[in-house]
Amino acid sequence: MIARSTIGRTARGFATLLLAAAVAVSTSVNAFAQGVPVVRDAEIEALVRDYARPIFKAAGLANDGIDIVLVNDQSFNAFVTGRRLFINTGALVTAETPNEIIGVIAHEAGHIAGGHQQKLRDQLDRAKTMAIIATLLGAGAIVAGATTNSRGLAGAGMGVAAGGGEMAQRSILAYQRGEEITADRSAITYLNATGQSGMGMLKTFGRFQSALSLSGTQLDPYRISHPMPQERIANLEVLVKASPYVNQVDPPALQQRHDMMRIKIAAYMQGQAAVSRLMRKNPTSLASRYGDAQQTYLYGNPAAALAKTAALIKEQPKNPYFQELRGDILMKVNKPKDAADAYAKAVSLDPARSGLLLVSLGQALMAVGTPDSLKRAVTQLNNGIGRDKENAEAYRYLAQAYGELGEIPAADLATAEGHFYSADYKDAKIFAMRAQQKLKRGEPGWLRAQDIINYTPSNKLK
């Protein structure tokens, strides 16, 4: 299941809509990342983490605990802040091979390892200052022109303003050119160290360099932040072709996971025409049949979707995400007990230990609704949160489960956490105070409530 974080209600089934911005509250996330529309999906997060892990390791960056943040945006973009890799679903669905995404990740890792982020921010600040000065100069000249009632001087004023802006821009580009070349070189080093080709990176950057980007009329943010002059592409090409791994292709199993990811994004985010487009090339491939099962679940007949999913499971019995899809379908047809079994299987098969699958299991157990299954739901939701502690939606289910069990202080605290990780600090504090009234002073729950009450958001946009 792909879950979107947007504002609003929570709905089971098709796609879970949840409150925004688990990322917004983390202190490690930069202000500019606040408010990004996030999507959560165990399968895609695991795959992108598998792409990133060897590269991050080769770059000497933290090789564990890389957070993958999937941004629900059809344009091409990818950027890294600290240990978080932000990547647009548009980039994932555009890339035909894992290598294309791995190349972009390698380039971004080059920026982090080179400490470029901080410098870029300083540079942008300076550029902003320069632009302000330019504007002031221009405005001053216009005023001067106006007072002498001379059109010529007013025109000169405009010229100063435009010139100032351009100067600021040129200064950024000059700086960026150096950083980009460094990041390209670092990327090739990491790709070589991991025995991978740079052809995917070259393909992606080459595409940006050409006048038409794949997303057509849309301007890709990545393209704007990454100037791709001919010279840079030419230099990169030399490096890529000199690598002993230039002709290395992605392992077939990884390519298959990539194909399945693309079709999943198409099914959940883009609709049936996009799925058909991806299926056309090879209608009988596993990925095509996965896409077919998903769109049958989303837009068609659940019984047919179950049959198609059963066939997938028969072919890859150890694929946790086929079990997850089976669970989603069973939830839709109101068979929570069977859904819980499917999710439990997904959890046991999941090498990536995703908290999301545990939360789905918890939801199914809640829907079963017996006191025993509610207790098990609490356990599984807490396990899920243990792996994924900023999952605001999971706290909301946990609060509901505690509430149904009559454990009100725990329910209030979970509600507080849910608000907290949705960056709704006012309501978080209200519920934390409510929880404290019924908790023993100094016990862990009371202390956590106190943390929430004391919290002041420090990383807000100016």
Which stretches of the chain bind Zn ion, using CB under 5 A?
180, 183, 226
Which of residues 226 and 335 has its CB atom nearest to Zn ion in the complex?
A: 226
Residue 457's Cβ-count burial label (10 Å; 0-12, 13-18, 19+) is exposed
Name the minimum Å distance from CB 222 to Zn ion.
8
Name the minimum Å distance from CB 183 to Zn ion.
5
Which of residues 225 and 334 has its CB atom nearest to Zn ion in the complex?
A: 225
* In the block, residue with structure tokens 């902003």: 128
Q: Which 3-state string (H, E, C) describes 291-343? A: HHHHHHHHHCCHHHHHHHHHHHHHHCCCCHHHHHHHHHHHHHCCCHHHHHHHH
CA–CA gap between residue 57 and residue 59 (Å, rounded):
5
Residue 397's Cβ-count burial label (10 Å; 0-12, 13-18, 19+) is buried
Name the minimum Å distance from CB 57 to Zn ion.
20
Which of residues 117 and 256 has its CB atom nearest to Zn ion in the complex?
A: 117
Q: Which helix (H) or strand (E) holds 23?
A: none
Name the minimum Å distance from CB 111 to Zn ion.
6
CA–CA gap between residue 233 and residue 227 (Å, rounded):
10
Which of residues 227 and 300 has its CB atom nearest to Zn ion in the complex?
A: 227
Query: How many of the other CB atoms lie within 10 Å of CB of 163?
Result: 13
Which of residues 221 and 355 has its CB atom nearest to Zn ion in the complex?
A: 221
Which of residues 181 and 367 has its CB atom nearest to Zn ion in the complex?
A: 181
Name the minimum Å distance from CB 226 to Zn ion.
5
Name the minimum Å distance from CB 180 to Zn ion.
5
State residue 215 phi and psi, 5-degree precision. Answer: -80, 10
Q: Give the count of alpha carbons within 13 A of 287, CB side only.
A: 24
